[in-house]
Amino acid sequence: MLLYTKNFEEQKEKAMESLRKALADDRVDHDIIPLLEKINSLDNYFTTSSCSGRISVMEMPHFGDKLNSVWLGKWHREVTVEEVLGAIGKHKTGQLWFLVRSPILHVAARTMEDAVRLLNLSIGFGFKYSNIKSVSHKKLLVEIRSTERMDVPLGENGELWVSEEYVGRIVDLANAQVRRFKGKLKRLEDEIENLEK
């Protein structure tokens, strides 16, 4: 027997209201909006959160301390070496990190069959870290995630450990990862409507 979520329509309407507010406040990555619209137009799915992937420069008291970390630069696109060096120049205390994070979307599904269908489609398009994150009568949640990631320590307490040439090399690698995961997002966007056919 298939697992169905209770009050799916009510949950979807609340999520769509939150999305409308986030869009109005310009808190949604612009290049992922078409994919969100397509997913949310389907009867058996809705999005609860998303990020189109990013490159960032972050100052942390120690690695993993997100709560007390400070973004020195954050981009949901390819970046220039100059932009990254500008962000690095703001570093004063703690550890300095250059990070790449792949896209992540959380999508609620009406039934387990719907969740598995979305999971298989996502994995097929290269989102290999995708999984079913939550299974209950209240919520079936699919996490769509890719494999691209970089965690590069750059310095500490105002001291830069690497050369500008090295920064240029990691920026090139990061931009290649961005091109790769943005391509995956576009392919998923092009095929997502076929989920309910």
Residue 42 falls inside a structural domain:
yes
In sequence order, what are the residues at sequence separation of 6 or more whose Cβ sits closer than 8 angstroms to the Cβ of residue 176? none
pTM of the model as a whole:
0.90
CA–CA distance, 135 with 133 (Å, rounded to integer): 7
The domain tally of the chain equals 1
Residue 184 falls inside a structural domain:
yes
Residue 1 falls inside a structural domain:
no
CA–CA distance, 106 with 145 (Å, rounded to integer): 9
Residue 52 falls inside a structural domain:
yes
Residue 2 falls inside a structural domain:
no
Which domain does 79 fall in, by range? 8-196
Residue 3 falls inside a structural domain:
no
Asked whether the predicted pLDDT for residue 4 surpasses 80, the reply is no
CB 117 within 8 A of CB 99: no
The domain spanning residue 159 has which CATH number?
3.30.1960.10
pLDDT band at 1 (very low <50, low <70, confident <90, very high): very low
| Span 119-178, pLDDT tens digits | 999 999 999 999 999 888 778 999 999 999 999 999 999 999 999 999 999 999 999 999
User: What CA dihedral angle connects 19, 23, 28 and 29, to 10 degrees?
Assistant: 130
Among 2-6, 26-30, 100-104, the range scoring the smallest mean pLDDT is 2-6
Better-scored residue on pLDDT, 187 or 4: 187
